[in-house]
Amino acid sequence: MQTTKHFAVIGNPIAHSRSPELHQAFAQKTGITLVYNKRLAQIGQFESSIDEFFKNHGTGLNVTVPFKEDAFKACDVLTERAKIAKAVNTLWQKEGKLYGDNTDGQGLVNAINALEWPLSQSRILILGAGGATRGVIFPLAEAGAHEIVIANRTLSRATQLIQDLSPHIQNTSLNAVGLDQLTGHFDIVINATSASLSGDTLLLPESLTFNYAYEMAYGKPSHFLDEAKKRNIPYADGFGMLVGQAIESFYIWNGTRPNLKDFL
Ligand code: ATR
């Protein structure tokens, strides 16, 4: 008989998380029996909460805002992409050690692949230079992007990020630009700013053109997507990325990878 594995997503706040329903849907599709809960941790009590979870025979944890950097620091063993992202969203234990990975960037790559937008040899523009951008550059480069330009309101933050990441990126050229200097043509533009989350406008100059628009946020009004709609450009919000990162976590823990297109 199959034993029931226990999973949870830990964050603060956590009530809004869609991870439990996604993982239940993957379990149903793949014939795995699991329990997946939401776990609220108080600020400053992240480590004690994960200790308790694993002591009680939990198999794996997803980590969300604001604990991804705490999770990164808590791990004994990290994957390469987690080291580069400096953030962890997937935890498990093996032989008494805490392992951490970051599946967010691969989740974005999977979502873009499911949309059948071209990544190989592409010229990609990422708006924003925060944690969300840091997590996706290495997976996008591994997926074959020819050039990634990071545009940020504060140019120095984009320049610093590129300096940090360059040693890890071999075949993709990385460039930084100020948000107000944007111009030229890109295959895909990805909005990784928190502008949509805070309801801010994000003005894009006419001289910036692109074929596809991806908004990392989902379930929020997005000026970036309004602009894509106005320009009649194919677009998507971050739901596919959410499903994509969940599938990669599910794969780490359960060894089987559901098909993203079945859950969109
Ligand atoms: P996250 O971890 O989600 O990336 P973050 O580290 O706070 O969050 O980064 C937010 C990003 O959104 C930054 O790149 C920020 O630009 P600055 O570095 O100049 O602050 C960007 N951002 C937030 N609001 C914005 C707005 N209204 N217009 C343009 N960029 C914005």
Whole-angstrom CA distances from 35 to 1, 70, 136, 162, 255 are 16, 24, 29, 40, 17
Q: What pLDDT was estimated at residue 2?
A: 66
140 φ, ψ to 5°? -65, -40
How many whole angstroms separate alpha carbon 201 and alpha carbon 224?
8
Of all protein residues, the one whose alpha carbon is nearest to atom 11 of ligand 1 is: 193
Whole-angstrom CA distances from 155 to 129, 130, 135, 182, 252 are 9, 12, 18, 12, 36
Q: Is the CB of 130 under 6 A from ligand 1?
A: yes
pLDDT at 1 over 70: no
Q: Is the CB of 76 under 6 A from ligand 1?
A: no
Are the CB atoms for 194 and 128 separated by under 8 Å? yes
Mutation probe of ligand 1 site: the residue of 153, 164, 190, 198 with most atoms within 8 A of C-beta: 153
Helix locations, the chain, DSSP H:
19-30, 46-55, 68-74, 80-85, 104-115, 131-142, 155-165, 195-198, 223-230, 239-254
Q: Ligand 1 mean position to 52 CA, how many Å?
A: 34
3-state SS record for 127-149: ECCCHHHHHHHHHHHHCCCCEEE
Q: Are strands 90-94 and 60-63 parallel, antiparallel or unpaired?
A: antiparallel
Task: Report the 10 Å Cβ neighbour count for 83.
Answer: 15
Annotated catalytic residues are 68
Strand partners, 189: 125, 213
Distance in Å from the first CA to the final CA of the chain: 32
Task: Report the 10 Å Cβ neighbour count for 201.
Answer: 10
Are the CB atoms for 33 and 59 separated by under 8 Å? no
pLDDT in tens, 127-186: 999 999 999 999 999 999 999 999 999 999 999 999 999 999 999 999 999 999 999 999
Q: Which residues are within 8 A (CB) of 255 and not within 5 positions of it... i.e. 6 or more apart?
A: none
Mutation probe of ligand 1 site: the residue of 159, 193, 220 with most atoms within 8 A of C-beta: 193
Residue type, 118: P
pLDDT in tens, 103-140: 999 999 999 999 999 999 999 999 999 999 999 999 99
Of all protein residues, the one whose alpha carbon is nearest to atom 7 of ligand 1 is: 130
pLDDT in tens, 18-33: 999 999 999 999 999 9
Q: What pLDDT was estimated at residue 196?
A: 79
Whole-angstrom CA distances from 120 to 123, 147, 168 are 9, 10, 18
55-59: average pLDDT: 96
Of all protein residues, the one whose alpha carbon is nearest to atom 22 of ligand 1 is: 193
How many whole angstroms separate alpha carbon 99 and alpha carbon 95?
10
Please identify, by atom number, the ligand 1 atom nearest to the C-alpha of residue 201: 27
The model's confidence at residue 187, banded by pLDDT at 50, 70 and 90, is very high
Q: Is the CB of 24 under 6 A from ligand 1?
A: no
Q: Is the CB of 136 under 6 A from ligand 1?
A: no
Secondary element (H or E) of residue 99? strand 97-101
Q: CA angle, 30 as apex, 26 and 36 as ends, to 5°?
A: 40
pLDDT at 47 over 90: yes
pLDDT in tens, 58-78: 999 999 999 999 999 999 999
The domains found in the chain, sorted by start residue, are: 5-102 (3.40.50.10860), 105-236 (3.40.50.720)
pLDDT in tens, 196-205: 778 888 889 9
Q: Is the CB of 128 under 6 A from ligand 1?
A: yes
